[in-house]
Amino acid sequence: MKTDLMKNAHVSAICEKLKQDNFQFKEEKFDYLDVLLATGSQFNMSWLKTTQINFFAFIGVVEKVSMEFAVAYAKMSLSYAMKNHAIFPKQMYNITASVPILISSCIDDDAKQWIQQKPKSQLGFHEIPVILDSGNNALLLCNKSTRHSGNKKFLAGLIQKYFNLTNI
């Protein structure tokens, strides 16, 4: 993996966490933005069933995050995940999570408000946008009170595990 993104301390810290769970990495380009795509599967086990979570993490570093840019980036990420979810072997119960992560030290207030909204879900696909404020290592994502299902709680735990960088 030879990319300028890896020179960013936040990106390399995230990648180290993802590597521990055998995620695969690939460079992509979304319009003019270089993106590091991490893919992997996790399993959410409950009393009644085991659900395979197919995880697409799209990591991008930008100078400034506006609401318009964050919305467009999330849509492109979800579209990519929906088109490419077949790379994972299928289990009886599975969902695909698209996690677009933008890393920046300059985030406008509209983007901060938008990121707090309920994540989108449709037909087994979940969109969970995340913004990492690199200025103070704050992880901005959906308000926890909107996550009710076991799978969404599991996804929220994965996001905290992989992208919370309070000690960097």
pLDDT band at 2 (very low <50, low <70, confident <90, very high): very low
Whether the predicted pLDDT of 58 surpasses 90: yes
Whether the predicted pLDDT of 91 surpasses 80: no
pTM score:
0.86
Q: Secondary structure of 61-107 in the HEC alphabet?
A: ECCCECHHHHHHHHHHHHHHHHHHHHHCCCCCCEEEEEEEEEEECCE
pLDDT band at 1 (very low <50, low <70, confident <90, very high): very low
% of the chain beyond a pLDDT of 70: 85
What are the domain boundaries of the chain?
4-163
